[in-house]
Chains A and B, each alone.
Chain A
């Protein structure tokens, strides 16, 4: 038994050190580092700063002040609420739902993809067919329909729905990877030692894919945020509370684009969303270069 635990432990640590290695190389690539800093700053600011800011409240005397007004750096909206404070507090739901949705879809993809490849047979056929079908249905259309009819006022529910629809791409990628990994010697050794399917898949095979999965997780965050903000913009997700998507929706409906004084109102969530997504994409791209050394060497 002790003999069996040696390779398991060593492979486990490889996974961890590989993860640290990714972060180290991420720092070495300038674009990846800038992306990481942008995302980290946005997460910190939207999560912590709102606690130290006053609540925004409607104020009829200060409607649609232009950017640069005293006390309101980015002006106010059509209810007299400060735009800057809304912008700082408006990232929380967006980032939270993005990450939770991506975590859900990544978890689904790992479980379904690796089991499909490892078990093969009818499990594989069912997973592949299901993935193909879900992949074909335009998710945004389905989300729009479901979002409009079910009251998805809790961010968790929204994340469940978004994440529950976006697992197929990664599932197929994981399946392909596990297919090739399961033929390697160390997996065969683990199988001969009779360690059990769950252990072989999750302890022996998956750590080798850690960086690949991390990259896809970030792609998942990006696309979840795309879908989420889009739903809010069209008013297809319940407009309770305040976030960047809801700000966009209200500014668009109020015709903020036609009024110079309210341009900052509509452009501030636009800039915030672009910054967040750009940071994520920059991180993902430099990770991709790390994972694929051929891209660097030639």
Chain B
């Protein structure tokens, strides 16, 4: 659809589409990227709309609940309570629903998620700004570690097929793949924390030691990593198994490709074949899964952060859910979804850079 518009626009600018060879590739990419961006925006739009109606569907509509408790507790008039609610939820309960929805969307575009219901005076945006970076940090570091370790382990397994090291790594990989991250977190707490005393669990709570001022100094970085070690360990260990197993099967498949046989026949060195021919092509399919796994890990942070007391977005989400802080809840839900959408977009762009076939295929389908 957008492809057709794009071609005609290009024709207007460049004349007949017969001869411009070099810009053709560029046009493909542009069209693909535009369509991918459009998809991302559409997703965010649908989720934002869904959130608006979800909040109104929740039992004991939070807006009405808030107004009635305010009237009961502080004895203020309905108008005053409604005005407060309007401020809190970025929506005015007295307006028709279409107008409310419109205002809600406009506010969201400005990054205005309203105020927290539990801690008056705190905006939802500031809650997110305080907690989200720590989750992105710990999940990001863990994902990079487990991706790299998994790829190396997977290639070792594929090259040493049916040897003891393959069986050993496959068993470990299956075991780690099977264990949920919160179960592993409990085991880490029990064994590394309580039994072996390697980590001081109470000192490691929070995202950094209270009183330490955030700065780009070594001691602060050290402090950050001390607090993030256990969550990173839990995320990385529970995801590394699946990366290794997927990489193993991908490598095994690549090893059977004709171009690898040809490369061998040409007498290229093993290390050259391993990195340039097998590794590069085997790792490609894994990139498309990177974004999905990121979303999964960010979602899983509600369990892991709760168990370690790590103060990221999952921790604050748990507090919002158990405290029925609808405003914060709604904001976090949106922001987590948007970060997953952005991660998906980045992974797709990265993937298409690495494997140009995707762009062409996408073009054909659209």
| A interface list, Cβ under 8 A from B | 31, 129, 132-133, 135-142, 144-145, 148-150, 222, 226, 229-230, 233-236, 248, 252, 257-258, 263, 266-267, 270, 273-274, 277-278, 280-282, 285, 288, 292, 294-295, 298
A266 touches B302 (CB 8 A): no
A133 touches B300 (CB 8 A): no
Q: 0/1 per residue, B105-121, Cβ < 8 Å to A?
A: 00000000000000000
Q: Which residue of A lies closest to B44 (CB)?
A: A136
Which chain A positions have C-beta within 8 A of B59?
149-150
Which chain B positions have C-beta within 8 A of A277?
178-180
B72, CB-defined interface residue at 8 Å: no
B66, CB-defined interface residue at 8 Å: no
Stretch at the interface among B76-84, B89-97, B185-193: B185-193
B174 touches A138 (CB 8 A): no
- Interface size range of chain B in the complex: 35 or more
Which chain B positions have C-beta within 8 A of A233?
182, 303
- Shortest C-beta distance, A221 to chain B (Å), equals 12
A136 touches B249 (CB 8 A): no
Contact A273:B183 (CB < 8 A) given known A136-B337, A136-B344, A140-B302: yes
Contact among A150, A267, A298 with B256 in the assembled complex (CB-CB below 8 Å): A298
B177, CB-defined interface residue at 8 Å: yes
The 8 closest A-B pairs by CB, nearest first: A138-B299, A140-B299, A281-B178, A278-B178, A277-B178, A148-B321, A226-B180, A298-B256
A141 to B332 alpha-carbon distance, docked (Å): 9
B252 touches A263 (CB 8 A): no
Main secondary structure of the interface of A (DSSP, over half): helix
What are 19 A-B contacts with C-beta separation under 8 Å?
A136-B295, A136-B344, A137-B47, A140-B299, A141-B302, A230-B180, A230-B302, A233-B182, A234-B302, A234-B318, A257-B194, A273-B183, A274-B183, A277-B180, A281-B177, A281-B178, A292-B249, A295-B249, A298-B252
B237, CB-defined interface residue at 8 Å: no
Q: 0/1 per residue, B258-302, Cβ < 8 Å to A?
A: 000000000000000000000000000000000010011011101
- Shortest C-beta distance, A76 to chain B (Å), equals 19
Which chain A positions have C-beta within 8 A of B186?
248, 252, 257, 266, 270
Contact A234:B303 (CB < 8 A) given known A150-B59, A252-B186, A267-B190: yes
- Shortest C-beta distance, B264 to chain A (Å), equals 14
Which chain B positions have C-beta within 8 A of A145?
54, 321, 329, 333
Which chain B positions have C-beta within 8 A of A278?
174-175, 178-179
Q: 0/1 per residue, B39-82, Cβ < 8 Å to A?
A: 10011001100000010001100000000000000000000000
A193 to B354 alpha-carbon distance, docked (Å): 45
A281 to B242 alpha-carbon distance, docked (Å): 11
B306, CB-defined interface residue at 8 Å: yes
B182 touches A230 (CB 8 A): yes
B155, CB-defined interface residue at 8 Å: no
B174 touches A282 (CB 8 A): yes
Q: Which residue of A lies closest to B171 (CB)?
A: A31
B190 touches A140 (CB 8 A): no
